[in-house]
Amino acid sequence: MPDWSAQTQQARTWFESLRDQICAEFEAIEREAGSDATFQYTPWEREEEGNDSPGGGVQGLMKGKVFEKVGVNVSTVHGTFAPEFAKTINGAEDDPSFSATGISLVAHMANPHVPAVHMNTRFLVTGKAWFGGGADLNPPIPYEEDTQEFHAAFRAACAKHNPTYYERFSKWADEYFYIPHRGVHRGVGGIFYDHLECDDESGFARNLDFTQDVGRAFLEIFPKLVRRRMESEWTEADKRTQLEWRGRYAEFNLVYDRGTLFGLKTGGNVDAILMSLPPEAVWT
């Protein structure tokens, strides 16, 4: 595995900074709603036999008046993939050792009119080094205005770096966040990218810059959508719609989501990995 330790630390510093900014903004929204909810942070350490520095992370969790359940996790781990799993990871075919750092966020909202959301960005080093991530909006009750503004924020972030990024990455999100056994998409899309490879330090800097703009776009647009909808009146029928939709969300994350599989296959903290699951859901 190439030595990208300095770059891994640089990416980690950004992910932790982004977490702090997001959590502060979410707590501010709770204050505006008359709630004193705050994030509770739980550090965890990864274990791997024969590995003296396997890394770990911090799980941040808040349950409030607006955010029924929101998790913002940052982890930095190092180790060796199991042989069969290594075959599925970019650059790990010949050398199963790896290093990974990233931020993962899922917010499930109390009001059915406020969209749930997912955001994740990461930097991995195997035989290659690359960035991946994205964000997608998951409204139980979609509003076209919200969908358009969410996409516009990420379209602008992509346009700063490559004129092809938004079309490619939004299409990738539509294909990825799809539930085949239901024949439906998980939400209204966003962007998804993976294997954005760094051939040298300049490539790392370029891709980190893009990944930072993805995080900034999320921080700019999602709180705006929350504030727009968080005081909307809702009915029991609206709540039922939300709980049924959450069931679909859970199905995707447990059956198809690569991040869930990666965490479980690499000895991550189970509670942090499964923080994406909603606090309550129903199936008909």
Summarize pLDDT for 34-56 with one digit per residue, the tens: 999 999 999 999 888 888 888 99
**Cα 75–135–54 angle (5° rounding)?**
15
* Band of pLDDT at residue 89, cut at 50, 70 and 90: confident
Domain limits of the chain?
5-276
Question: Rounded to the nearest 5 degrees, what angle is found at the Cα of 14, between the Cα atoms of 12 and 15?
Answer: 65
Asked if 98 and 124 count as a contact pair (C-beta separation under 8 A), the reply is yes
78, 108, 113, 118: the active-site residue = 118
Radius of gyration of the chain (CA): 18
Is residue 121 within 8 A of residue 177, CB to CB? The reply is no
Round to the nearest angstrom and report the end-to-end CA distance of the chain: 48
The pLDDT, as a whole number, for residue 22 is 98
Homologous superfamily assigned to 5-276:
Coproporphyrinogen III oxidase, aerobic (3.40.1500.10)
Encode pLDDT of 224-241 as tens digits.
999 999 999 999 999 999
Tens-digit pLDDT profile for residues 156-193:
999 999 999 999 999 999 999 999 999 999 999 999 99
Best CA proximity match to 193, nearest among 220, 147, 157, 224: 157
Look at residue 130 in the predicted model and tell me its pLDDT: 95
Q: What is the largest CA-CA distance in the chain?
A: 56
Does residue 151 have an active-site annotation? no
Indicate whether 146 pLDDT > 80: yes
How many angstroms separate the CA atoms of 248 and 42, rounded? 28
Residues near 247 by Cβ (< 8 Å), separated by ≥ 6?
Answer: 281, 282, 283
In percent, the amount of the chain with pLDDT more than 70 equals 100
Predicted TM-score (pTM) of this structure: 0.94
